[in-house]
Amino acid sequence: MISLLNIKKGYGLFFIFGACGFFIGLFLFFGLVMIPFYDYGRSMFWDKVPTVILEKDMVEVSGGRRHSSPSYRPEISYTYTYEGSRYVNNDVSNYDNVLSKDPNWLDRELEHSRQGVNTFVAWVNPSNPSESYLVRNIWKSTTFLGTLMGVVFAFVGLILVRISLVKAN
């Protein structure tokens, strides 16, 4: 009988590392690529609604490293009226945790949807009007890195699993 954890031959560790690498690759690919694409596609048919920004700021987030450049997280509050009801929201983007090295990121992103002095466009979910975004986009660098790292980890993981199964015989 073939034992997948055949430590005697030394290939059991190949299987363990290969399986871990494969699942890490899937996690990276789905977390960094597929979920944002799903959210982007889901919001494709949402309504564009004029919104007024109540307050906005880019808050510096400490990275924990002494010599690293600071990161910034947008904090925003905006209001919009949808089908006669008024809503207040603070979701910036279809990405959950937005961090930027540029303190002017939010102003630059909002310029694309500016309609007036303080009026912008928000994407509002018609089936749940309390859900909305101000910035709806796909980040090319995150998509590229998530795809690259996910495929590499999964592929190397599968190769290690295959080696362990072939050599265990």
Evaluate whether residue 73 is within a structural domain.
yes
Lowest pLDDT segment from 26-30, 32-36, 128-132: 32-36
Q: What is the pTM of this model?
A: 0.64
Say how many domains are in the chain: 1
Q: CB neighbours (10 Å) of residue 122?
A: 25
Evaluate whether residue 102 is within a structural domain.
yes
Identify the domain containing residue 104 by its residue range: 46-137
Q: 77-100 pLDDT, tens per residue?
A: 888 999 999 999 888 776 655 555
Evaluate whether residue 142 is within a structural domain.
no
Evaluate whether residue 16 is within a structural domain.
no
The Cα-based distances of 139 to 22, 96, 98, 100, 104 in angstroms read: 24, 13, 11, 12, 17
pLDDT at 159 > cutoff 80: yes
Evaluate whether residue 150 is within a structural domain.
no
